Every structure is written in C-alpha cells, then in structure tokens.
Structure 1
C-alpha cells in the first residue's frame, strides 16, 4: 500500500518536474582594478571615486560588465603581487587594471623590485586570459633624475614586454592643479574623479571591446 501511495505522489509531481526552470542570467564580465589609495577613493565615500564611477559608466554604456575594486590604500607593488593570484582566481576577470607603484616611489623602494612585482601581476592576469591595462605614475624630481626616469620606464618597458595596454600617468589631467588635490597635496578631491575616469576610459575601452570580440 505504501508503495502505491508513493507512486501516486510521484505521478502527481511529474508535471511540475517537467516544467522548465528559470532562465539563468549570464555571468557579468569583470574589470578588476588593483590599485592603491588613488583608486580606492581615499578621503571620500567609496561610491565617489573614479573606479566606482567606472562601474556606473559600464552599467550604462556596456551592459553585462561590472567592476571589482580590489584597491587598498597604502598598497605597494609587493602587496599587489602577493594578492593577485587569489584575486584573479576568485573573480576570473576579462580585464585587469594595474594601477600600483606610487607608494613604492614615495618610499624610494628599489625599481627592480617594483618591476618584478608588476611583471608578476601582469603574468598572473594574462595566465587566466585577462587583458591588462597598466596605469603608470610619475615621481617628483627630488628623488633624483635616474630614479624618476627609471620609475617611468618600468611601466613603458613592461607594457612592451607583455603587450599590455598602457596609460603612462594616472594624474596627468590634474597634476598641475593644486586645487584638484586634498589638503595632503597627494590625493585628488571628489570634484576631479570624473576627470580621472575620462582619462582612463579611452585606454580601457579598447580592451573591453577586444574582450567582447573574443
């Protein structure tokens, strides 16, 4: 008798089991940003920084894309290199923006170490199939001509070696405008975050388009 009851229950459930399940939503394509306080939005709410604004622009202009901001204030290239494998495996990004090195330069850390760390980040990103935008920084002349030139050359040389996108200087649109910076004269204000995004966008968009075409 129990088996007959079980059979009746199974027959009653068959129509529901035969119904198609809800359509699955395609997973969003990801831009992963690995930066320091300039990308983390130091001194402002998280949604006010240029990276968050990038997420808003992608949602509007490139549906199906999202931004993961893995930037940390005070981060060095060594810190980024130690985190990159975990981040790219966790998020499986199509594009990785590497915007690190400013804190290395401000501390006068060896250029060779920064170059090695950036190379490791690029390599790990490309290993998972991501396209890379390397975002450079410039140092003040008081660090010495050899250091400042070598610092800039790290980015251009690595971009050529690994065939990445390159934005030579993140702060180029505002670098000479004192009013564009907070009281510390290091971190951009909320008001100029849109300018930073507009500066990054032309270098980033071709990588997004290339990822869409793959």
Structure 2
C-alpha cells in the first residue's frame, strides 16, 4: 500500500508516488498475501483465529493494507509485530494477529471482514482507506465501507475496542478531496466513539531515510516509529 505524505514532502517524492500509482496500483495482485506477524510469545495467526483455535489471551487484530502487512520488510519488523514485542515486555495478556493485505481497499476490507471476524477480539485496529484516497475513489464509498467494517466488528465482537488509524494523501487529486479524506477518519471516530490515531505515519511519511526506495513504505526504522505512535494510543486501552 502506498501513501501518506505531509505538506513538507519533497516534490520529487510526490512525483515518484504518482508514477508508482500508475504501475503498481497500490499493491499488485501478486503481492496480495496475508501477513500473520505475531508477538514472540504467541504464534496465533489470523488463519488460526478463523479456524477457531482457542486462546487464553485477548486478541488484538490489526486489519489493514501493506503498511500493516509489512510490505518490503521481514514480518517481525512490521509495526504490529513490534507492538507484540511491547506487549510481551509489559507482561500484558494479549496476542497480536496481523490481518494486513497488500493492495487492500476499503471495499476489499468490507468483503472479507466477516470471514476474519469468526472469533471475538479484544481490540480491533483498523488501518484502511489510503489506497482509496490514492486512487481517487469516491469518498462517500470509502466512508460507507469503513462504516460497514466497524458495524461488522461491533456485531461480531460487541465488547471489542476499535482503534481507527487516520491517514493522509498528497494533494495531487485536489485540495478539497485531500481535506475531506483527512477529515473522514476523525468524523468516523467521533460518530462511532472510536479511539483515533490521528496520523499513522506521523514522523515517517515523506522522510526519505525512513522509507523504502519507493518513498512510501516504511523501512524497519520507520516501522519502529509507527509502532511507537500506535503504542502511545494503544497502551492505555490494554488492561
């Protein structure tokens, strides 16, 4: 998945992004493999949850695209796995499941959410929408799809805490679209009383040394910063 640059992003990075959008489409079909990164102390995968494998730990499910899946880095270097390490270090009784899928849009996420949510989760981290924005898809559809995912999680796992990852896109599609895209995450969080991560790639997006050569996907060092951003929001939720 590819996205999220800030206002200080160099023009060269934005240009590179636009080129990538035409040749990769935010994740080709050949990269659509689900990454099941987990914490060191627990090896439950998303497939394991779907199969009904019991666990004595509460499940934290990360549901997103290639940022969550850890495109271009080892599974253990992706931010969900790093969150798992932090959980282990804190002695908390949670296992992390990575249900990220490269190239995923909100429509794709909506289509597979019921299958993924075959077992209850304690915390659901939703990281989708960036590919919609980069493709210029109608934001009304993006909003409806995200709402449908939220509704399904609430139906399947009523006690789950839902955390929504906010995203941003470069202004190439237009300032109005870009502004509305940025705002829809806050709107959904307020409407549904979700916990919001204002910008998942804070301190990483647009910084060359923290991103892979594509200028979009974080390096291992970038994922460490993303993990810290998520942990700041997630840690108070875990009991």
TM range (shorter): 0.7 to 0.9
Q: Tell me how far apart the structure 2 counterparts of residues 188 and 62 of structure 1 sit (CA, whole Å).
A: 28
Does the CA contact (< 8 Å) of 1:125 and 1:131 recur in 2? no
2:69 to 40, 52, 69: 40
Using CA pairs below 8 Å that are at least 6 residues apart, which structure has the higher relative contact order? 2
Q: TM-score normalised to the size of structure 2?
A: 0.74
What's the TM-score, normalizing by structure 1? 0.82
Which of the numbers 66, 78, 81 marks the counterpart of 2:95?
Answer: 66
SS in 1 for 2:162: strand
Richer in helix (by share): 1
Moved >6 Å (runs of 4+): none
SS at match of 1:117: helix
The count of aligned residue pairs is 184
Native 8 Å contact 1:40 1:72 kept in 2: yes
Q: Which protein has the larger Cα radius of gyration, Structure 1 or Structure 2?
A: 1
Deviation at 1:157, TM superposition (A): 0.6
Aligned partner of 1:169 among 191, 194, 199: 199
CA distance in 2, matches of 1:189, 1:43: 8
Question: Is the Cα contact below 8 Å between 2:79 and 2:227 reproduced in 1?
Answer: yes
Q: Quick one: distance in 2 between partners of 1:26 and 1:190?
A: 29
Instruction: Report the CA distance between 1:107 and its aligned residue.
Output: 0.8
Matched, 1:181 2:197: no
**8 Å CA contact retained: 1:81, 1:118:** yes
Residues 1:29 and 2:58 are matched in the alignment: yes
1:120 matched to 2:165? The reply is no
RMSD over aligned CA atoms reads 1.4
**Is the contact between residue 134 and residue 165 of structure 1 (CA under 8 Å) also seen in structure 2?**
yes
Structure 1, gaps ≥5 residues long: 1-24, 210-214
Q: Does 1:96 align with 2:110?
A: no
